[in-house]
Structure 1
Amino acid sequence: MKAERAKEILINLLRIPSPSGKEDRLALHIMEFLHKLGYDVHIESDGEIINLIVNPDAELFYEVHMDTIDIRVQPFIRGNIVYGTGASDVKGGLASILLMLESLKKEDKDLNVGIVFVSDEEKGGRGSALFMERYRPKMAIVLEPTDLEVHIAHAGNIEAYFEVDGKEAHGACPESGENAIELTYKMLEELKALEPFKQKGKYFDPHVGLQELVCENPYYLIPALCKGRLEARLLPEQEVEDILDLFDPILEEYTLRYEYTEIWDGYELDESEEIVQIAKRAMDLTGLDEFGGMRSWTDAINFMYNGTKTIVFGPGNLDISHTKNEHIDVRDVVKASEFLTAVNDIFGKS
């Protein structure tokens, strides 16, 4: 039964911790898995990053990252649900690729696509960047948790670290100080009130919010300094530079200093693109029917910036990824492997 085999493959992947920078053991496990099936594996490395590549001359690649965030939950199973850090992001997608490769061998089918297993997606995206320095496939499918939707659009993003400087005063005398926490929230309100964040999107809405805020106050004081990180999710059609022009005056007014640490433009593929048409045919064959948009940074950004038309797809749910409740239904892993198999077959006939 495919679900049981998917469960076995996935739990073996989850039992090998692979936080960013420590992917070596998992890479060895994947190489051994592929060698037993008879696939040649090319190792690409710059001394720090390691990528594994199968069928390197292909024009269509499946890409999946081997790393996870630091382990928060050890793996365990309840029926068809597998829990653990990385189950959804993205070892469920990794398992779907391995299940597909195993099925192709059993059915004596050709592998028509290339596959790259990359490092460092969760930290800096250096694995996909290294791959794109050396290879330029025409098309790609990046495996990420999309609830089995085919994501043909991708959010843009702005991330900024900041320090808001207030004025100390005794905690009983708020009128004599400037509360840095209150100033931070006033700054956030002004950012949220900007016109671009009132718009509505096709697949998701734009958003700006705090993701980290530290205000140390060991004494009974009005807090004078807050350090934090804010993140803005942009619609595919919104250009980062336009948003930065709106952010700068507000951040300059409220902060002691700020720094943009991540910025990238999003994108949306036209449905006439070849990779979208191939995906649509595979969706029809496997009973999938939803297009969507990816809300988080993925390696697809590095692919698209280098000219590779890229969709994002995979089993798992983005909302619960990275959380202590991260889990995945292995039946979705099977369904994802069927979709990937259908794309492989369609591309082989094109």
Structure 2
Amino acid sequence: MTDRIQRVWQAIDPGRLRRTFIEMLNIYSPSGKEEDIQLYLEGLFSTAGFAVRRQEVDEDRYNLCLTMGTGEPQLYLVAHVDTVPAWDLEDFGAREEGRVIYGLGSADMKGGCAAMIEAWLAMAAALKPEERPPVGLLLAVGEEENGDGSAAFLESYHPPWAVIGEPTGLIACFAHYGYMEAGFVTRGVRSHSSLPELGHNAVESMLRVLMHLGRDPIFDRARSDIVYSIREMSSSRAGFVVPDRCETWIDLHLPPAQNPVVVQEAIRRIAAGAELAIPGLDLDVTFDFASAGYALDMNSHLGKTLENIYPELGLKLRLDAFRSHSDGNLFFAAGTKPLILGPGALETAHTSDEQVLFDEVTAAARIYAALCIGAG
């Protein structure tokens, strides 16, 4: 471990990190309503003497960007500040039980965000200006919706590397699943619900379509590498009638090497077979979003840094592919190599039991600092 890393690790303040984290959790910041937390973070950095640049995304929504060192940043720490909507607006904030911190966004990803902020503050405090690595910090909006914050950033900036603090339990994800959304619409004939024989029930058709899909090998959870979830299903709401329309959306997470276009063609083929098997079926299939996965070479300066520092932290370095969708897909498509690594676990993200072990948040701050120094 280098002298610079040692000095920065000594400057990391767990008390300050905890305060920042708790205050972030107590600010409600669902996608589209991130201004309050951005104002808080902008004030935090401005008070500490940092120059913070706002990058407009749309009206009253903006990313925050900071840089240090000389020359173009070789690595950006990337954190999204938005969350999914609260399960309960009376109970979304921070709650502590021992070393575990609960709250909306604690894992996804205010824990990673707070750790990146602490790493930044510690580097600035411990290193002379000429010692600081050429790195940046992006605090982005909109990840939980459509990634518009990172998309706006990538219109102007293409750093060689990014470290994105999504919840991985500190597992280093140099590989990332792809993601796509498949939409299905069935149409029927409306009739009074007491006379279903006069109509054609679009919901019944949709259920048969989904059963037909489930029989195909690509939807066989025991054998297929594709991870899928039926996210939502809705029908026409006219009251006491046979529904004449039903819409379903399926999320599909694809292994890093899987081509989304090939999966789309396969689903269209299966759907065509459903039209032959289900009498009177009127079915449309659409794909509103698709993003390919990726697999990076772990034999890089980031990989070597992780190999050196994990034993110093008493951690075993583990590697995996990140199974969810994230802004990492956008960064990779734009030519940046994104490492996904952060505290917390996907198992609790987006649930009312979302949580993170504070010791992981502290360790993440040290990991992020070491990765930044390794980049310079």
Pairing partner for 2:361 from 330, 333, 342: 333
Contact 2:74 2:160 in 1 (8 A): yes
Aligned residues: 346
Contact 2:20 2:114 in 1 (8 A): yes
CA distance in 1 between counterparts of 2:255 and 2:57 reads 34
CA distance in 2 between counterparts of 1:237 and 1:16 reads 38
Q: Which runs of 5+ in 1 are unaligned?
A: none
Contact 1:21 1:120 in 2 (8 A): yes
Q: In the alignment, which residue of structure 2 is the partner of 1:30?
A: 41
Q: In the superposition, relative to structure 1, how do residues 192 and 275 fare at CA in structure 2: closer, same or farther (>3 Å)?
A: farther
Does residue 87 of the first structure (1) align with residue 98 of the second (2)?
no
Displacement of 1:111: 4.1
Q: In the alignment, which residue of structure 2 is the partner of 1:126?
A: 148
Q: Counterparts of 1:243-282 in structure 2 under 5 Å?
A: 243-251=263-271, 253=275, 256-282=283-309
Displacement of 1:138: 0.6
SS for the counterpart of 1:54 is: strand
SS for the counterpart of 1:270 is: coil
CA distance in 2 between counterparts of 1:270 and 1:181 reads 47
Pairing partner for 2:73 from 52, 58, 65: 58
Kindly provide the amino acid, as one letter, of the partner of residue 58 in structure 1. P
Structure with higher Rg: it is 2
CA distance in 1 between counterparts of 2:298 and 2:184 reads 39
Contact 2:301 2:375 in 1 (8 A): no
Cα offsets for 1:264-318 (capped at 9, x unmatched) = 1111112224443344334344324111111221111111001111110111121
Does residue 5 of the first structure (1) align with residue 33 of the second (2)?
no
Kindly provide the amino acid, as one letter, of the partner of residue 54 in structure 1. L
SS for the counterpart of 1:134 is: coil
CA distance in 2 between counterparts of 1:346 and 1:103 reads 15
Q: In the superposition, relative to structure 1, how do residues 77 and 128 fare at CA in structure 2: closer, same or farther (>3 Å)?
A: same
Displacement of 1:168: 5.5
Displacement of 1:100: 1.5
CA distance in 2 between counterparts of 1:116 and 1:340 reads 13
Displacement of 1:37: 2.7
Contact 1:149 1:288 in 2 (8 A): no
SS for the counterpart of 2:310 is: helix
Pairing partner for 2:157 from 135, 148, 153: 135
Contact 1:209 1:230 in 2 (8 A): yes
Between the aligned residues of both structures, percent identity stands at: 27
Displacement of 1:44: 1.8
Displacement of 1:344: 2.0
Deviates more, 1:270-279 or 1:309-318: 270-279
CA distance in 1 between counterparts of 2:194 and 2:57 reads 57
Q: Counterparts of 1:1-350 in structure 2 under 5 Å?
A: 2-48=13-59, 49-55=61-67, 57-72=72-87, 73-79=91-97, 80-108=99-127, 110-112=131-133, 113-166=135-188, 179-198=201-220, 205-216=225-236, 223-251=243-271, 253=275, 256-286=283-313, 287-348=315-376
Q: In the superposition, relative to structure 1, how do residues 74 and 141 fare at CA in structure 2: closer, same or farther (>3 Å)?
A: same
CA distance in 2 between counterparts of 1:60 and 1:134 reads 15
Q: In the superposition, relative to structure 1, how do residues 199 and 15 fare at CA in structure 2: closer, same or farther (>3 Å)?
A: closer
CA distance in 2 between counterparts of 1:346 and 1:238 reads 32
Q: State the TM-score, normalized to the length of structure 1.
A: 0.88
Displacement of 1:106: 4.1
SS for the counterpart of 1:9 is: helix
Q: In the superposition, relative to structure 1, how do residues 64 and 200 fare at CA in structure 2: closer, same or farther (>3 Å)?
A: farther
